[in-house]
């Protein structure tokens, strides 16, 4: 990747073309990627969280996907500062966030989350009940918590559906299910963490989509038609970065088609570097293949506008501002519809505004130190 900031305002213009996604009008293609900030003590997002999201909305971010916010299960969270999406106080907090973002003209989806069998890397805090997951392992040989019974699974699906219904009732513009990065929904997808022999397991990736599909159907039933539902997916797992759910385009289709049939509207394809081809023989990335295979709108993500990727940044590597040329080339050929920006938007709340105005030289680098404050 080139590290120069040489995109001109004219070429960046593609990022600022309006688009209609799942019946929702967006003023541009820029999405704030979901990013856990752990600034919600007791699970309740306060006025500081509302102001944080508002700052991005008022500076041209088209759609905000909130940090992961947990559904109503005793061990859905692995960090006491992660917001809940259940309970009166937390939902009142989210209503304030929503009001602030809407007042600034923004759109916002909560990212609904259950961590499954994954501990946080940054706290020793433990939920009141053991972690729960498909088979009580985060990866082969790594036991954590308990395997879910069918009753646990049904209750968890119902918890996702309640959270989505609350999102619609409060006035959110849609919801995203966190089905990526090795957390609960992804633990069902991956054979390394799903060793079940009942109907929620299976030898094929298609068979292991059942939990996600039943969750999507329940969310759709609880929210009704005309409410955008996204699912975030990744090939990689944080408990095993080389993991790949789909080895071929056909296998990828067998993973995605059941999700589409279940009623999802948008597929958010999480990669660490958006420019990496997903399969040999084509330069299409994960979001590109997903759009080609399903025809649904997709969101790309991964080191947009930055030189380094986010996992290394947790280890202390600094990422400098980088050219948007390759991103704009891919957007121009409609490889994907929306572009999620993560760390660049933490370091620069006004990232979208500066890019729109061509003020590339004013963009700040990203260093993990910026996570210390909710600026
Ligand atoms: C501090 C931090 C917290 C994150 N939390 C979440 C999260 O809650 N949910 C999620 O799906 N991804 C999460 N991610 C991943 C980001 O959404 C994004 O995919 C990743 O940072 C790559 O985008 P970037 O290179 O533009 O930062 C997080 C990333 C960072 C840096």
Q: What is the pLDDT of residues 279-296, one digit of tens each?
A: 999 999 999 999 999 999
Average pLDDT of every residue of the chain? 96
Single pTM value for the model:
0.97
Percent of the chain residues topping a pLDDT of 90: 96
Cα(259) to centroid(ligand 1), Å:
22
Q: Using the predicted structure, report yes or no on whether residue 101 has a pLDDT greater than 90.
A: yes
Sign for the CA dihedral angle at 45, 263, 204, 136 comes to: positive
Q: Which atom of ligand 1 is nearest to the CA of 180?
A: 11
Confirm or reject: Cβ of 35 under 6 Å from ligand 1: yes
pLDDT at 11: 67
**What percent of the residues of the chain are helix, what percent strand, and what percent coil, each to the nearest 5?**
35, 15, 45
pLDDT at 116: 98
Ligand 1, atom nearest to 314 Cα: 31
| pLDDT per residue as tens digits for the range 3-38 | 344 444 456 889 999 999 999 999 999 999 999 999
Q: State in Å: Cα 37 to ligand 1 middle.
A: 10
Answer yes or no: is the C-beta of 232 below 6 A from any ligand 1 atom.
Answer: yes
Beta-ladder partners of 299: 268, 338
Give the C-alpha separation, 37 to 34, whole Å: 10
In three-state secondary structure terms, 20 is strand
Which residues does the annotation mark as catalytic? Answer: 183
What pLDDT is recorded for position 12? 87
pLDDT value of residue 91: 99
Q: CA distances (Å), 34 to each of 31, 221, 249, 346, in order?
A: 9, 24, 27, 11
| Nearest-atom index, ligand 1, CA of 268 | 11
- Dump pLDDT digits (tens) for 173-226: 999 999 999 999 999 999 999 999 999 999 999 999 999 999 999 999 999 999
The predicted model gives 76-97 an average pLDDT of 98
Task: Give yes or no for residue 36 CB within 6 A of ligand 1.
Answer: yes
Whether 52 and 348 have beta carbons less than 8 Å apart is answered as no
pLDDT at 7 (0 to 100): 44
């Amino acid at each position: 990747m080139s590290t120069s900031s040489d995109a001109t305002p004219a070429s960046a213009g593609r990022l600022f073309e309006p688009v209609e996604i799942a019946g929702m009008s967006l003023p541009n293609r820029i999405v704030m990627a979901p990013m856990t900030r752990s600034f919600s003590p007791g699970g309740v997002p306060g006025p500081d969280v509302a102001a944080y999201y508002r700052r991005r909305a008022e500076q041209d971010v088209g759609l905000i996907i909130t940090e992961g916010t947990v559904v109503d299960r005793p061990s859905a969270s692995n960090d006491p500062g992660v917001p809940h999406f259940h309970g009166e106080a937390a939902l009142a907090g989210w209503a304030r966030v929503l009001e602030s973002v809407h007042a600034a003209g923004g759109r916002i989806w909560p990212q609904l989350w259950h961590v499954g069998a994954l501990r946080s890397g940054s706290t020793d805090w433990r939920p009141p009940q053991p972690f729960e997951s498909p088979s009580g392992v985060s990866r082969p040989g790594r036991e954590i918590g308990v395997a879910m019974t069918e009753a646990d699974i049904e209750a968890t699906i119902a918890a996702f559906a309640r959270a989505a219904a609350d999102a619609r009732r409060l006035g959110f513009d849609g919801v995203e299910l966190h089905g990526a990065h090795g957390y609960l929904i992804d633990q069902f997808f991956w054979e390394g963490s799903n060793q079940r022999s009942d109907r929620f397991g299976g030898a094929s990736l298609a068979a292991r989509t059942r939990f996600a599909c039943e969750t999507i159907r329940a969310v759709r039933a609880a929210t009704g038609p005309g409410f955008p539902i996204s699912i975030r997916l990744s090939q990689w797992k944080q408990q095993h970065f080389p993991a790949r759910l789909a080895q071929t385009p056909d296998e990828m289709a067998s993973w995605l088609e059941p999700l589409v049939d279940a009623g999802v509207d948008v597929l958010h394809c999480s990669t660490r570097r958006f420019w990496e081809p997903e399969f040999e023989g084509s330069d299409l990335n994960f979001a590109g293949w997903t759009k080609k295979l399903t025809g649904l709108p997709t969101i790309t993500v991964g080191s947009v506008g930055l030189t380094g990727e986010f996992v290394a940044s947790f280890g202390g590597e600094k990422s400098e501002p980088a050219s948007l040329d390759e991103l704009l080339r891919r957007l121009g050929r409609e490889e994907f519809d929306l572009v999620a920006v993560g760390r660049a938007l933490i370091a620069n709340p006004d990232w979208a505004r500066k890019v729109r105005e061509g003020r590339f030289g004013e963009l700040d680098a990203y260093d993990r130190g910026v996570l210390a404050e909710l600026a």
